[in-house]
Amino acid sequence: MPTLLSIGHGYSARALSALLLARGWRVIGTTRSPEKAEALRAEGVEPLIWEGGPLPLDEASHLLTSVAPGAEGDPVLAAQHEAIAAAQHLEWVGYLSTVGVYGDHAGGWVDEATPLTPSTRRGRARVEAEAAWRALAAAHDLPLHIFRLAGIYGPGRGPFEKVRQGTARRIVKEGQVFSRIHVEDIAQVLLASIEHPDPGAVYNVCDDDPVPPQDVIGFAAELLGLPLPPEVAFEQADLSPMARSFYAESKRVRNDKIKRDLGVTLHYPDYRSGLRAMLDQAG
């Protein structure tokens, strides 16, 4: 039985596991929370509460890591570098990264060949983590695939609740654009890569329509039939340091490679189709 070991089995990995379980796979997902472990079990995933100890790599044919790097680097490699290096039986290894590795391009386009020039601490940590995984893969001939994800949205993770509660704001920064991706499209890209592995490949995972963030909030309000949330200039916006850091970079991300090399047709090629589907699915 093909078996995915998913380290840090979060939002994107859970969308993938739904596709794999429907195809008869076994999925082992790690978490640090007993409550989340029970939720995973209810979804058909075998939960493993993991705090850095040995992993059941010998039981896995495929490995996915969604764990973000910390101040000391990638925690998965820090804990399990030698064990992963020795897992020569793995047929596919996936690392979920972020388009933040490209840095700021003043709204210009980037693709997988664009030099990595991150301007945030999180982006620099991702570049270092990608490099560490590449080095491990090169040294031990592991079938590594890197996926650089744009801003993720989907069921339970979108603008509707804030718009309904009246707490949403349309934050406006001149020239600011973001790329996005629906979680179901992340899942289908990962599945396509698993089915058509290309060790060493790097993929941008985003939709076709990078737009200013205020457009998304405005469209959500329109779908709900609610008043347009007020505009707030970025300079006056009350944002957390994390939220504010997202506005430090503006770029449009190309996704030609997932279409050309993996044959992916996006379910939700823009935020409009994605938000409409979320609202329909919510009833």
CA dist 48 and 63 (Å) reads 14
All domains in the chain, ordered by first residue: 3-152+181-207+252-268 (3.40.50.720)
- Residue length of the chain: 283
> Quick one: pLDDT at residue 167?
92
Portion of the chain with pLDDT greater than 70, in percent: 100
Structure tokens at 249: 């970079």
The residue among 106, 92, 21 whose CA lies nearest residue 63 is 92
Where does residue 141 fall: left (phi above 0), alpha (psi -120 to 50 degrees), or beta otherwise?
left
CA dist 192 and 189 (Å) reads 5
> Quick one: pLDDT at residue 242?
83
C-alpha triplet 113, 123, 172: angle, nearest 5°: 95
Amino acid, single-letter form, for residue 27: V
Ranges in the chain, pLDDT < 50: none
The residue among 145, 130, 125, 138 whose CA lies nearest residue 85 is 138
> Quick one: pLDDT at residue 283?
66
